[in-house]
Amino acid sequence: MTLLDALLRSAAVRAVDHAFALALRRIDPATPDAVLAAAALAAAAVAQGHSVLPLACAHLLLPDAPNDTPPPLPPLAEWLDALRASRFVASSADAASETRVLVLEDDRLALRRYWRYERRLAAALCMLGDAAAPSPADHTAWLEPRLAQLFPLLRSDPGDAQAIAARAALVHRVLLLTGGPGTGKTTTVARLLVLAVEAAARRGEPAPRILLAAPTGKAAARLGESLRTTLDALLDDGLIDAATSAAIPSAASTVHRLLGTIPNRSVFRHDAAQPLAADLVVVDEASMVDLPLMTKLVEAVSRHARLMLIGDPDQLPSVETGNVLSALCDAADRTPEFAAFPGRRVHLHRSHRQAAQLDLAPLAAAIREGEADVALDGLAAARYRGVEWQQSTLRALPAWLRQHAVPHYRALQLAADPQQALDLARRYRVLTALRAGPSGSLALNAQLVAMLDPSRRGDALFHGGLAMVVQNSYRHGLFNGDIGVGWRDAHDDRLHVWFDTDTGLRPFAPTALPAHEPAFALTVHKSQGSEFDRVLLVLPEHDTRAVSRELLYTGLTRTREHVTVWAGEDILRAGIARRAQRYSGLARCFGGILPGLQESTAGAFAPPW
Ligand SMILES: Nc1ncnc2c1ncn2[C@@H]1O[C@H](COP(=O)(O)OP(=O)(O)OP(=O)(O)O)[C@@H](O)[C@H]1O
């Protein structure tokens, strides 16, 4: 059997990756098996979120199922020789040739499409950063006293990161504002927007046109609400005037909507030729934005505008390709020694959220730092308020679900109207590490559906049922991850599924819904950008690569009040030891050497490609 076929058989590549390699073989039947296998693996890597495949690490991408041993890969030197000799493989120097669908840099193989996205993104960021930045000298006289008013901590702590972020936002065209939950990212954004408006007024200019966006409708709604609450408090305290408050929008939209989707096209209305009508673009939950979307977003920001990307790079990266926010943070952190990132990153460390019921921060920190003993000791001693550890088996789970989860979901059926049902749905959610298998979201959804409405055969289209759309449908204005509630109208007994969309609460006929599945149990990946009062986090019984530090951190931090962790000690320990590695070439695009990448020179960045 060829290596290519063996990879398909062991599920190391998908049928679609295999078909991609076969298409290359049809073009050139003499293409060696090693090249075809590398092509299929590079395509499979994209599906796992990697934008490049370091061939030396390719074995790490093979499935880790205990009884399905993946085939051995070719020795690296031979593999590289075969690739270099292939008509389908470009080195970056001759990457302009369109027939070369793969690009090989050192031992890093990429699909040309994603290689180009990374370069386009880096070029677009450099264009923004290159544009003349306003001189900080304009503001200095008034800025410091004003900062001290808006950021009172500055008086006792000159290193207050929130104030540093605000200062940076006035100077840099590109700002990455990062931090964990409750570290004050939104609070800081509100205040730095105030400063941007006031700075323009002091220069005698009109207020900057500000646009706010987030990858999902839920995250956008949360950003808008949270900014408005902060601004209203500043207004009430007399710290800003009504004109300043009015200059800052209180509505955020999804990134797709901001860019203007065109039905059935992957390009948007706004691009470099038709940039967004904005002087300042703020994108929250940026860790969820994948590489192609981030590229199109940054290209659509006008050359004279500023861009702020807000997010938590410790969370799992976007389900799609590219650990974009993390890669940009990497590049920013290594500037100027190793890279030339055209902006600034400010990280907020301190959590300010005071929840009487929940003390998650020390556990989240131990997991982030990989300190398994600290985390497990704390869990075993019930030291983290609001965190409960159930070291139980999956066999015991259905009874627990019936007792603890089902009452929350039953409450949806008794709600007064669809809006109240959707509000109630935010109170509780079962989260899983995996989609498949006995601990996966598919199995737990099937159990929960059967408990809630035994007449259903697995779908959630019943009164009070929660359904999640799993594909983008621009026609419906529904996007992958949007969750709706089934609602039977008392007058005509017809069931509709109601969604909170960009344009408000909307009903959809079940037959008209895009692809969907029950949403009583969500994978942690799908839960990103959402928060719930209470969460049950279910881990598998056998160790798997999917359980990582980032997955645990993201799953736990979805909760506002209480989380139950259903997991054995071994799984937790293995998960805390593992990092959700994503391979990306983006940081290298900023013309730097990153440690471990074995580059010999730090070439200067030279856009555009
Ligand atoms: N410097 C500060 N001093 C006191 N309280 C603060 C400070 N910064 C933020 N807070 C409070 O901490 C809470 C969390 O702040 P905020 O919502 O801005 O955090 P966030 O990082 O945006 O959170 P999320 O992860 O939910 O997006 C809010 O109640 C806010 O008022």
Between 47 and 394, residue with greater pLDDT: 394
Report CA-CA distances (Å) from 316 to 15, 282, 589. Answer: 26, 21, 22
Same domain for 406 and 338:
no
Report CA-CA distances (Å) from 558 to 118, 405, 568. Answer: 30, 16, 20
Domain-terminating residue out of 328, 348, 368? 348
Ligand 1: residue of 151, 153, 156, 186 to mutate (most ligand atoms within 8 A of CB) is 186
Same domain for 430 and 396:
yes
Residue having the nearest C-alpha atom to atom 27 of ligand 1: 181
pTM above 0.90, yes or no: no
Same domain for 339 and 364:
no
The mean pLDDT value for 38-61 works out to 88
Asked if pLDDT for residue 506 goes beyond 70, the answer is yes
Question: Would residue 25 count as lying in a domain?
Answer: yes
Same domain for 440 and 321:
no
Give the count of beta carbons closer than 10 Å to the beta carbon of residue 15: 8
Pocket flag, ligand 1, residue 445 (CB < 6 Å): no
The mean pLDDT value for 357-381 works out to 92
Domain assignment of residue 91, given as a range: 3-106
Same domain for 364 and 344:
no
Asked if pLDDT for residue 289 goes beyond 70, the answer is yes
Asked if pLDDT for residue 128 goes beyond 80, the answer is yes
pLDDT band at 220 (very low <50, low <70, confident <90, very high): confident
The mean pLDDT value for 172-183 works out to 91
CA angle 11, 17, 19 (to 5 degrees): 110
Asked if pLDDT for residue 383 goes beyond 70, the answer is yes
Residues 6+ apart with CB under 8 A from 269: 259, 260, 261, 262
Q: Is this complex's ipTM strictly greater than 0.85?
A: yes
Pick from 72-81, 531-540, 542-551: least confident:
542-551
Domain-terminating residue out of 41, 76, 106? 106
Average of per-residue pLDDT values in the chain: 88
Consult the annotation and say whether 260 binds a ligand.
Answer: no
Q: Which H helix or E strand runs over 243?
A: helix 242-246
| Nearest partner of 207 among 172, 249, 238, judged by Cα | 249
Question: Would residue 191 count as lying in a domain?
Answer: yes
User: What does R_g of the chain's alpha carbons equal in angstroms?
Assistant: 25
Give the pLDDT of residue 476.
Answer: 82
Pocket flag, ligand 1, residue 181 (CB < 6 Å): yes
Pocket flag, ligand 1, residue 315 (CB < 6 Å): no
Residue having the nearest C-alpha atom to atom 31 of ligand 1: 187
Same domain for 279 and 197:
yes
- DSSP secondary structure string for all residues of 163-202: HHHHHHHHH-SEEEEEESTTSSHHHHHHHHHHHHHHHHHH
Pick from 20-24, 153-157, 238-242, 296-300: least confident:
153-157
Asked if pLDDT for residue 472 goes beyond 80, the answer is no
- Please give the distance, rounded to the nearest whole angstrom, from the Cα atom of residue 257 to the centre of ligand 1: 27
Q: What is the 3-state secondary structure (H, E, C) of 559-598?
A: EEEEEEEECCHHHHHHHHHCCCCCCCCCHHHHCCCCCCCC
Pick from 99-103, 384-388, 473-477, 564-568: least confident:
473-477
Find tokens 């997010």 and name the residue: 311
Pocket flag, ligand 1, residue 226 (CB < 6 Å): yes
Same domain for 275 and 200:
yes
Q: What is the dihedral of CA 412, 554, 568, 520, to 10 degrees?
A: 20
Which CATH number do you get for residue 383? 3.40.50.300
Asked if pLDDT for residue 456 goes beyond 90, the answer is no
Gap between the Cα atoms of 420 and 414, Å rounded = 10
Asked if pLDDT for residue 495 goes beyond 80, the answer is yes
Strands 174-179, 344-348: parallel, antiparallel or unpaired by DSSP?
parallel
Same domain for 43 and 144:
no
Question: Would residue 587 count as lying in a domain?
Answer: no
Consult the annotation and say whether 183 binds a ligand.
Answer: yes
Pocket flag, ligand 1, residue 31 (CB < 6 Å): no
Atom number of ligand 1 nearest to Cα 312: 25
Gap between the Cα atoms of 577 and 372, Å rounded = 7
Residues 6+ apart with CB under 8 A from 57: 583
Consult the annotation and say whether 477 binds a ligand.
Answer: no
Consult the annotation and say whether 180 binds a ligand.
Answer: yes
Same domain for 456 and 366:
yes
Q: What is the three-class DSSP state of 493?
A: coil
The mean pLDDT value for 343-368 works out to 86
**Dihedral pair phi/psi, residue 72, rounded to 5°:** -70, 145
- Please give the distance, rounded to the nearest whole angstrom, from the Cα atom of residue 308 to the centre of ligand 1: 17
Calculate what percentage of the chain has a pLDDT beyond 70: 92
Residue having the nearest C-alpha atom to atom 15 of ligand 1: 184
Gap between the Cα atoms of 502 and 114, Å rounded = 29
Q: What is the 3-state secondary structure (H, E, C) of 429-445?
A: EEEECCCCCCCCHHHHH
Same domain for 197 and 148:
yes
Question: Would residue 354 count as lying in a domain?
Answer: no
Same domain for 430 and 409:
yes
Q: Interhelix angle for 406-413 vs 418-425, to 10°?
A: 170
Give the pLDDT of residue 433.
Answer: 96
Give the pLDDT of residue 26.
Answer: 96
Report CA-CA distances (Å) from 172 to 41, 341, 343, 423, 541. Answer: 39, 11, 6, 39, 48
Pocket flag, ligand 1, residue 303 (CB < 6 Å): no
pLDDT band at 233 (very low <50, low <70, confident <90, very high): very high
Burial class (CB in 10 A: 0-12, 13-18, 19+), 583: buried
- Please give the distance, rounded to the nearest whole angstrom, from the Cα atom of residue 288 to the centre of ligand 1: 20
Burial class (CB in 10 A: 0-12, 13-18, 19+), 309: buried
> How far apart are the two ends of the chain, measured CA to CA in Å?
41
Bridge partners, 429 (sequence order): 535
Same domain for 404 and 378:
yes
Consult the annotation and say whether 526 binds a ligand.
Answer: no
Question: Would residue 492 count as lying in a domain?
Answer: yes
Pick from 47-56, 148-157, 244-253, 379-388: least confident:
47-56
Question: Would residue 89 count as lying in a domain?
Answer: yes
Give the pLDDT of residue 319.
Answer: 61
Pocket flag, ligand 1, residue 182 (CB < 6 Å): yes
Residues 19-39 have pLDDT tens digits of 999 999 999 999 999 999 999
Domain-terminating residue out of 314, 348, 382? 348
Question: Would residue 592 count as lying in a domain?
Answer: no
Cis ω for the linkage preceding 336 (within 30 of 0): yes
Domains held by the chain: number: 3
Ligand 1: residue of 353, 426, 553, 558 to mutate (most ligand atoms within 8 A of CB) is 353
Pick from 55-64, 250-259, 280-289: least confident:
55-64
Question: Would residue 298 count as lying in a domain?
Answer: yes
Residues 558-607 have pLDDT tens digits of 998 999 999 999 999 999 998 877 788 888 888 654 443 332 222 222 22
Residues 94-121 have pLDDT tens digits of 666 777 999 999 899 999 999 999 999 9
Give the pLDDT of residue 590.
Answer: 81
pLDDT band at 322 (very low <50, low <70, confident <90, very high): low
Residues 6+ apart with CB under 8 A from 36: 2, 3, 4, 21, 22, 24, 25
Give the pLDDT of residue 136.
Answer: 52
